[in-house]
Amino acid sequence: MKIFFSEKCLEYSQPGHPESPARVSSTYRFLKEKGLEFIEPAPCGDEDILLAHTPELLNAVKGESFFDMDTPALPGIFEHARLAAGSAIDAARQCLKGEMTFSLMRPPGHHATGNRLGGFCYFNNIAIAVLKIKEQIGESDRPGKIAIIDFDCHHGNGTEDIFLNRNDFL
């Protein structure tokens, strides 16, 4: 299994906030002890983010010009968020080549809707990844429908919002 991970995702935090580096670092240590392969991801570009999000959301996160108690405008958060989304794209690309992959990054993404951040999520990493991959796959190689299975303990409202009215996703 290939694990996409960057120690850069451990560089930011807010005291007392539940979405903290510890959430990922303990998993990293566990998987590292198992001898799994770790790959440094590449950040995604603005054009990738715009596959799932509005220009207004992109610019708000880029300019750190928003207010949300759960999803704070931390210095440099745009770079961290685009690295997490890029990691999801990299993992999806390798998965299409038959590799088992996992993106172990933060910030998470499933609460970010097309036009709104929230719930610790700035951009919807999985939505960006599957839309990017779908864009790059030739028409004859595309699957009929794509299923996104979110096994978090609560609803991924952002992912639902982005794909709700599309007939090419389950």
Q: Is the pLDDT of residue 135 over 90?
A: no
| Domain-located, residue 168 | no
| Domain-located, residue 38 | yes
| Domain-located, residue 24 | yes
- The structure's pTM equals 0.93
pLDDT of residue 140: 64
Q: Read off the tokens for 128.
A: 């960006």
Provide, rounded to the nearest whole percent, the portion of the chain with pLDDT above 90: 69
Task: Count CB atoms within 10 A of the CB of residue 163.
Answer: 21
| Domain-located, residue 170 | no
Separation of alpha carbons 1 and 52, rounded Å: 27
Could you identify the residue written with the tokens 């690295």?
83
Residues marked active site are found at: 111
Separation of alpha carbons 163 and 89, rounded Å: 17
107: preceding bond cis by omega (within 30 degrees):
yes
- Interstrand relation of 101-103 and 2-4 (parallel, antiparallel or unpaired): parallel
| Domain-located, residue 109 | yes
Q: What CATH number corresponds to the domain at position 28?
A: 3.40.800.20
Lowest pLDDT segment from 19-33, 43-57, 78-92, 142-156? 142-156
The dihedral over CA atoms of 160, 20, 36, 112, expressed in degrees to the nearest 10, equals: 20
pLDDT of residue 20: 86
Q: Work out how many domains the chain is built from and give that number.
A: 1
| Domain-located, residue 151 | yes
Q: Please spell the DSSP secondary structure of 97-122, one letter per residue.
A: TT--EEE--SS--TT--SS--BTTBS
| Domain-located, residue 6 | yes
Helix (H) or strand (E) holding 80: helix 77-96
pLDDT bin (cut points 50, 70, 90) of residue 17 is confident
Choice between 160 and 170, residue whose per-residue pLDDT is larger: 160
| Domain-located, residue 169 | no
Separation of alpha carbons 44 and 128, rounded Å: 9
Q: Is the pLDDT of residue 142 over 70?
A: no
pLDDT of residue 123: 98
Q: 33-49: per-residue pLDDT in tens?
A: 999 999 999 999 999 99
75-91 residues labelled b (16+ CB within 10 A) or e (exposed): eebbebbbbbbbbbbbb
Containing structural domain, residue 141? 2-163
Q: Is the pLDDT of residue 110 over 90?
A: yes
Q: Is the pLDDT of residue 138 over 70?
A: no
- Whose CA is closest to 51, among 142, 114, 122? 114
